[in-house]
Amino acid sequence: MVGLVRGVASIGVALAVTSFTMSARAAPARVRVDWPSVPGCPDAKSVIARVEREMARAAAVDPVLAWAEIEPPAAPGDPWRVWIRTRTIGGAGERTLEADTCAELARASALLVALAAIRTTAPARSDEIAEVVPSPAWTPEPGGATSSAPIGLPPRPQPSGPSEEPSSRFIVSVGTWTAAGLLPSLAWGPTAAGSYELGPWSARLSLRAAVLRQELLGSLGATFDAIGVGGDLCRAFPLARAATFTSRVCAGVDLDAIRARGEGGATTNAVRAEAVPFLGLGTAWWPARPIQLGLDVRAGPSLLQPSFAVVSAAEGLRRLHRPSAMRVEGVLTCGFAF
């Protein structure tokens, strides 16, 4: 009799364990969110966790399936966009959301998914998320997206009338620059610029000065410095997956006045002009909306190449400097947009 009781108890325990295991395996997932990985955005795990926290506040929820596609800003100042589709046993829906940051976009998307899962009326049955289908009253859109087919963002609205114009702004910037080929040694100094941007195009006017550089040739020598102006026209291109960065291609001209002060009649306070047409590449970063950090590199041929010489009774005429045939420059600036 004792053996029979033990046998029945063992069978009961085995059945209970098996039933618990099968029940755990069959427990449906309440939330599934297909959230893409985009630089600067929260990951899918954090979005799902926020959805589950919001769903926990409701009295009754249904399993929910969601797909999302994110579009970073095309240009500085543009919003982040997400197109999100939801599906539950009660039906399906879709929304397009915009926000200043992707973190705000993720919070709004999680709330939208949680709202879609809140049960408003008791369903006839409870399905797993893999078997969720719309209610009979819901009519799917022609060519609607499925979990196995990629979804695309709806096209951006295009300007429809002459009143819609590209955005414009004025930027004042200061910084430093350096150039090889202007003075006898590497030239560097402060620079200031003002630029006007209209859409992807910008026109810029800059002023700069080179600090003193001394050149010695035996017992002869002179001190060189320069002051100049420059103008250029640039075309900007947004960098892929980097919403706060843009690249640009520029063309323009630099005009410089090179001054030499030293011994000898030929170089005493001598000032000569130099001109350089250039092509350049640059990038701009917007760490915050009114602030722009810029880096430009440019190169071009020297058109005038003035010569500087020292006249000495002992050594005669000795040339101290002549700008090189090619000049290369780098400019680093910090600007403020208006």
Gap between the Cα atoms of 246 and 248, Å rounded: 7
> What is the tens place of the pLDDT at every residue in 168-189?
889 999 999 999 989 888 999 9
Question: Do residue 174 and residue 250 come from a single domain?
Answer: yes
268 touches 242 (CB < 8 A)? no
Structure tokens at 237: 């291109």
Nearest-10 Cα torsion for 286, 292, 297, 301: 140
Domain boundary among 103, 131, 159: 131
Q: Please, which pLDDT band fits residue 4 given cuts at 50, 70 and 90?
A: very low
Report the amino acid identity of residue 43. D
pTM of the full predicted structure?
A: 0.50
Domain coverage including residue 47: 29-131
Nearest-10 Cα torsion for 128, 130, 136, 139: 150
| Residues 207-221, mean pLDDT to the nearest whole number | 78
Question: Do residue 247 and residue 120 come from a single domain?
Answer: no
CATH of the domain at 260: 2.40.160.20
- Examine the pLDDT at 204 and tell me if it is beyond 70: yes
Q: How many domains does the chain have?
A: 2
Higher pLDDT, 209 or 307: 209
Question: Do residue 77 and residue 122 come from a single domain?
Answer: yes
Question: Do residue 172 and residue 119 come from a single domain?
Answer: no
Higher pLDDT, 192 or 242: 192
Report the amino acid identity of residue 71. E
- Examine the pLDDT at 313 and tell me if it is beyond 90: no
Question: Do residue 183 and residue 311 come from a single domain?
Answer: yes
> What is the tens place of the pLDDT at every residue in 16-55?
444 433 333 333 457 888 999 888 888 888 898 988 888 8
212 occurs within a structural domain: yes
- Examine the pLDDT at 296 and tell me if it is beyond 80: yes
- Which own/partner pairs from 49-57 qualify as long-range (CB within 8 Å, at least 24 positions apart)? 50/106, 50/107, 50/110, 51/110, 51/113, 51/114, 51/117, 54/110, 54/111, 54/114, 54/115, 55/30, 55/31, 55/114, 55/117, 55/118
> What is the tens place of the pLDDT at every residue in 127-164?
555 555 555 555 444 444 444 444 444 555 554 444 44
CATH of the domain at 96: 3.30.160
Question: Do residue 124 and residue 178 come from a single domain?
Answer: no
| Residues 58-81, mean pLDDT to the nearest whole number | 85
Question: Do residue 67 and residue 203 come from a single domain?
Answer: no
What is the chain's mean pLDDT, rounded?
A: 77
Question: Do residue 187 and residue 267 come from a single domain?
Answer: yes
DSSP string, 285-299: EEEETTEEEEEEEEE
189 touches 175 (CB < 8 A)? no
